[in-house]
Amino acid sequence: MRDGTVAPEDVAADAPRFLKEFQARNDGILDVREQSALMALRVLIAGCGSVGGSAVEPLSRLGVGSLVLADPDGYEISNLNRQLCVYADIGRPKVEVAAERARAINPLIELAQEPAGVTEDNLVSLLDGVGVVFDAIDSAPPSLWIKYLLHRHAARLRIPVLLGVDLGGKPTVYVWDYRRNPCPFYGKANESDFREGREVEALRSYVGLTAIPADFFPVIRSRISGEPAPWPQVAYCATSMGAIVSRIVIDLALSEPVRPVVSMDVHQLPQTPRRRLRSLLRWPIEAAVTLRAAANAGDGFDAGAPAGAPDGSVSRVGLRSVLDAIRLAPSGHNTQPWRLNIIDERTVRVGRDPHRALPAVDPDGRYVCYGIGCAIESAATVADIEWEPGPNGNPLDDGWHGGTLRINDIDWLAYARSIGQLGARSTNRAPYYLHPPSREALATLRRAGSRFEACEAIPLTHRLQELADLTYEAAAANFADQAFLEELLDWIHVDRRDSAHGEDGFTAATLRLAPPAAAAIRLLKRSPHARRLAAKGWLPHLFASDARRTLRASGAAFALCSNDKTPRGRVLGGRALLALWLAAANAGLALQPVNFALDSPVTRDAFADLAGAGREADLVALVRIGYATAPAAPSARLPLGQLVDEPAGSAVEVGA
Ligand SMILES: Cc1cc2nc3c(=O)[nH]c(=O)nc-3n(C[C@H](O)[C@H](O)[C@H](O)COP(=O)(O)O)c2cc1C
């Protein structure tokens, strides 16, 4: 004992003094009864992964007397994001690392390790002397049956069992206090579902639908319809699980009655009442859609088979990863005009989908080229690729394509970072704060937008007012044009029942339409008469004023121009646009292209003059930039399967 602290070697010799100091800061929150009950308690942690492992540290720190740790697995790199391990533990048995951690916290804790995990053979001995069981056994067969046996034996011995389920940001703990009702799963489970490995049926018998947070339903649906993949799990969900379980253990140790289901949605905790209400209202819809998808999937749905891991070489997985990156690219009206023609496992040709054209806004195929450029830059952001440009003919002709991508190599660490950056980029149509970004940030953006030959990002922050006025003039002319208006309305899906809602174009949320505006759009979409009247009357002024207001509410602006009007030059223009956009996103800056002024023949020359770009220049985009006052709503994307043409018998199997 030195300086009032306890040296590890002295601990056993002077246990009472150690315990007094160890528990000193629990005093006042835990009373003497609680602390003593914990010290006398032996807890079986059945499964020491994200769920079970989460309780090891809080229970040890609270001063639990004894832990029995059972798990057959060792740590993998993918466990580092949430489990008890550090990098040096990779490959080591989970029970060993967990025991080491518990003992490092409390040298007096009594520990037993079972590296075989819970089995039919060791079940009885593992339960010996145990006061509470934390069941974190994997629910996939064959351990599903062991899970049932654990409950059956615990129920016979009248030992309470906690069972943890972590979905999204919501840890849920089910409590079976078998001292009060000694029937496994309180009679709700069908033994044969467990024995015969019917995981979904078995889970249904105890995991209530309400344990599933609204934001996890899309994950479930993606697993139902897409490639099997491991379920996502995050650190704060695991940490909260440990917090909930450790408190329940104290109550059970004192034989206090406990609620049968205890949960907390960490994602919802910081939300304002309005956002929370929105999630609440979203929940029944998400649940219904997911139940329908599950019913349609029938028996073919494999809940959790692991996906193929990237192996460092360009492979099926590598190509798929690059295609996933392309899918995140932006495009005018969010048409996603790409047709991805797979040539082999390293090569893909990026063509255009004629069904996703914009004849009114884009009669000469500029936007097709820019969209393809954005797709190519997305691919180049995540992998080392070579781009061989396509033919220089008319981009709207059959057979034209934007070029061929050859994947040379993928650095998976860089991939993980850049796919995250691509996903974080968005079009933010909210007002931005008026104070401009720092000079350094603007210089970085300018460099990024001027990276490709013939392209230049021209700073126009000092001309925002004039740009806003030009934008008003152009937008008023555009919205008075019946063909422009009809085309735009075709790509706005205000109605959730619209089959393209969530797949392409705009939603009310991405356009930040207030309910009356969404209702007006609905009416315009339905009634040609209303469209004619609106285009002649109030609509051009109203929408153009909104565009002008938006542009004024910006911290900075750039014109992106190029001296190369060939399709190849325009594809490069699209690449430059995405490069600038990503640089902005990396600097925490929001961005929105507002292209009325440079697209409209009414204002095009005035815009080119204002930017000092020359009237012959190709005007790619006017982008407003700044610190956003509100986040952007996520925009829709087509399933990858709809973008890809695979050769017959292809090994790529992109699927939906
Ligand atoms: C070349 C180009 C021009 C665009 N022009 C506009 C525009 O004038 N106004 C606008 O609000 N968004 C514009 N966008 C943004 C797209 O609508 C947006 O990228 C698409 O809806 C996908 O949404 P996301 O960027 O949030 O992923 C443009 C995008 C591109 C690639």
Per-residue pLDDT tens over the stretch 442-466: 999 999 999 999 999 999 999 999 9
pLDDT interval class at 368 (50, 70, 90)? very high
> Is residue 439 located within the same domain as residue 407?
no
Going 538 to 540 to 545 to 546, the CA torsion angle's sign is positive
Greatest alpha-carbon pair distance for the chain in Å reads 92
pLDDT at 394: 95
CATH number where 162 lies: 3.40.50.720
The partner residues of 569 in beta bridges, in order of sequence, read: none
CA of 167 to the centre of ligand 1 (A): 33
- Integer Cα distance of 144 and 138 in angstroms: 7
* Separation CA 405–CA 377 (nearest Å): 11
Atom of ligand 1 nearest to the CA of 333: 17
- 440 CA to middle of ligand 1, Å? 25
Do 388 and 488 lie in a common domain? no
> For residue range 589-623, what is the model confidence (pLDDT) as tens digits?
999 999 999 999 999 999 999 999 999 999 999 99
Q: Is 332 in the pocket of ligand 1 (CB under 6 A)?
A: yes
> Helix or strand or coil: residue 386?
strand
- Check residue 236 and give its pLDDT: 96
Residues 327 and 234 in one domain: no
- Identify the residue with better confidence: 17 or 58: 58
Q: Domain limits at 119?
A: 23-213+230-268
Give yes or no: residues 382 and 527 share one domain.
no
* Domain harbouring 364, CATH code: 3.40.109.10
The string over 73-95, giving b where at least 16 C-beta atoms fall within 10 Å of a residue's C-beta and e elsewhere, is ebbeeebeebbbbeeebeeebbb
Q: Counting atoms of ligand 1 from 1, which one is nearest the CA of 428? A: 26
CA dihedral 108, 109, 115, 119 (to 10 degrees): 140
429 lines ligand 1 (CB under 6 A): yes
Residues 435 and 337 both lie in one domain: no
pLDDT at residue 297 is higher than 50: yes
The CA–CA distances, whole Å, from 187 to 140, 165, 175, 553 equal 21, 19, 14, 61
Q: Is the CB of 635 under 6 A from ligand 1?
A: yes
Confidence (pTM): 0.64
Coil, strand or helix: which one is 608? helix
How distant is the alpha carbon of residue 426 from its chain centre?
A: 14
> How many structural domains are present in the chain?
3
Say if residue 397 is in the same domain as residue 248: no
Mean of pLDDT values over 190-194: 87
Helix (H, G, I), strand (E, B) or coil at 70: strand
Task: State the distance from the centre of ligand 1 to the C-alpha of 591, rounded, in angstroms.
Answer: 10
Cis preceding linkage at 142, omega within 30: yes
Q: E-assigned strands of 331-469?
A: 338-344, 347-352, 384-388, 401-409, 455-459
Ligand 1 in reach of 471 Cβ (< 6 A): no
**Is the Cβ–Cβ distance between 262 and 248 less than 8 Å?**
yes
pLDDT exceeds 50 at position 217: yes
Residue with tokens 């796919």: 419
pLDDT at 560: 98
Burial class (CB in 10 A: 0-12, 13-18, 19+), 500: middle
Does residue 221 lie within any of the structural domains? no
User: How far is the C-alpha of 348 from the C-alpha of 203, rounded, in Å?
Assistant: 42
pLDDT at 3: 40
Dist CA 452 CA 441 (whole Å): 19
If you take atom 6 of ligand 1, which residue's CA is the nearest one? 593
The number of the ligand 1 atom at minimal distance from the alpha carbon of 329 is 27
The residue to mutate among 356, 427, 488, having the most atoms of ligand 1 within 8 angstroms of its beta carbon, is 427
Whether the per-residue pLDDT at 387 is higher than 70: the answer is yes
Beta strands 556-562 and 455-459 are antiparallel
Q: Determine the average pLDDT of the residues in 567-593.
A: 96
Q: Are residues 147 and 86 in the same domain?
A: yes
How many Cβ atoms sit within 10 Å of the Cβ of residue 420?
10
For ligand 1, the distance from its centroid to the CA atom of residue 635, given in whole angstroms, is 10
> Which protein residue has the closest C-alpha to ligand 1 atom 20?
334
Question: Quick one: pLDDT at residue 381?
Answer: 94
pLDDT over 90 percentage in the chain: 70
**Residues 159, 253: contact at Cβ < 8 Å?**
no
Q: Let me know whether 36 and 80 are in one domain.
A: yes
Closest to 623 in 3D by CA, of 471, 482, 507, 514: 471
204 shares its domain with 130 = yes
Return the higher-pLDDT residue of 267 and 8: 267
Q: Which has the closest alpha carbon to 220: 290, 268, 168?
A: 290
Q: Ligand 1: which of 324, 327, 328, 331 to mutate, most ligand atoms within 8 Å of CB?
A: 331
Please determine, for residue 2, whether its predicted confidence score (pLDDT) is greater than 50: no
Within-domain flag for 202: yes
Residue 225 lies in a domain: no
Residue 216 CA, chain-centre distance (Å), reads: 10
Q: Which residue did the predictor score with more confidence, 165 or 284?
A: 165
Rounded distance from Cα 427 to ligand 1 centre (Å): 6
- Domain assignment present for residue 186? The answer is yes
Q: For ligand 1, say whether the CB of 621 is within 6 Å of any of its atoms.
A: yes
Q: For ligand 1, is residue 570 a contact (CB within 6 Å)?
A: no
**Cα–Cα dist 512/525, whole Å:** 18
- For the record, the structure tokens of 93 come out as 């048995």
pLDDT bracket for residue 640 (50, 70, 90): confident
Q: Which two tokens stand for residue 399?
A: 């057979």
Report which ligand 1 atom has the smallest distance to the Cα of 634. Answer: 26
Give the pLDDT confidence of 392-448 residue by residue, as tens digits. Answer: 899 999 889 999 999 998 887 677 778 878 888 999 999 999 999 999 999 999 999
* pLDDT tens digits for range 132-179: 999 999 988 889 999 999 999 999 999 999 999 999 999 999 999 998
